[in-house]
Amino acid sequence: MSEVEGGILLKGSGHRIRCIIPETLEGDRLSEAFGRLVEEGRNLLEGAEVVIDLQGRVLSIDTWKDILKHLILAGGMQVVAWSSSDPATQALLHSAGMILEDRQRVSKPPQGGCKALILPRSLRSGQKVEADGDVIVFGNVNDGAEIYAGGHICVWGRLQGLAHAGCTGDEKARIAVLSLEAVQVRIGSLYSILDREGPWWAKPAAVAVQNGTIVLRSMDGFSFGV
């Protein structure tokens, strides 16, 4: 067990590492703690299977984005599960297709444990991305760009192009975006044509299949309801 200055705790758990992010760390202090952790623990974290433990933190979209960009992407780790005792945070993570830690064990990632494909850039028109597992884009997916993922799709920017999650037939896959501006989304064998006048247009949104139909849920920076 080790604690990086700033309060983030790394704890060994079998062949996995638990990364505990205290609720008391916020704003600039949290960003600085991520930077120190990545710098001091790179050899330990890179390629490691990690459980992100948020304790009782009420996770905002901005904080989640910082965790993904400045901790997970920068540290090169493979997140196998998320842990939280806060119901709103659990709902947000679940609705975005993230793996939640079981009380007794960590659930296995989808697609036989395939790592997520992380793209630290925007996709231009004409670019096409295909992956067996999850796809995380730190940027925009512009009109004319396409993503086909066997697992979930997370876009930390504008989604204007085509996103097809669970493209091999997995209707449990989900799509999460910071700004939904696409006229069509697909999950498994289902697709939905979206209305530009809808309340979720150009806002953070999660897309999932419920009772055989694609549904959308709005997200804001403070809470998430299902």
pTM listed for this prediction:
0.62
Does 21 have pLDDT greater than 50?
A: yes
Q: Would you state the pLDDT for residue 175?
A: 94
Does 109 have pLDDT greater than 80?
A: no
Does 9 have pLDDT greater than 60?
A: yes
Does 150 have pLDDT greater than 60?
A: yes
Domain of residue 28, residue span: 2-108
* One domain for residues 87 and 120: no
* One domain for residues 174 and 196: yes
CB-hemisphere CA count at 13 Å for 5?
Answer: 5
The verdict on residue 13 lying in a domain is yes
Does 225 have pLDDT greater than 60?
A: no
Of 177 and 111, the one with more pLDDT? 177
Most confident of 47-56, 66-75, 104-113, 175-184: 175-184
* One domain for residues 87 and 129: no
Q: Would you state the pLDDT for residue 14?
A: 55
Q: Would you state the pLDDT for residue 143?
A: 95
Does 198 have pLDDT greater than 90?
A: no
* One domain for residues 13 and 37: yes
Domain-terminating residue out of 108, 128, 149: 108
Find where tokens 């760390």 sit. 25
CB 127 within 8 A of CB 145: yes
* One domain for residues 84 and 123: no
Q: Would you state the pLDDT for residue 104?
A: 37
Q: Would you state the pLDDT for residue 97?
A: 74
Domain-terminating residue out of 108, 127, 149: 108
Does 201 have pLDDT greater than 50?
A: yes
Number of domains in the chain: 2
Does 110 have pLDDT greater than 70?
A: no
Rounded to the nearest integer, the mean pLDDT of the chain is: 82
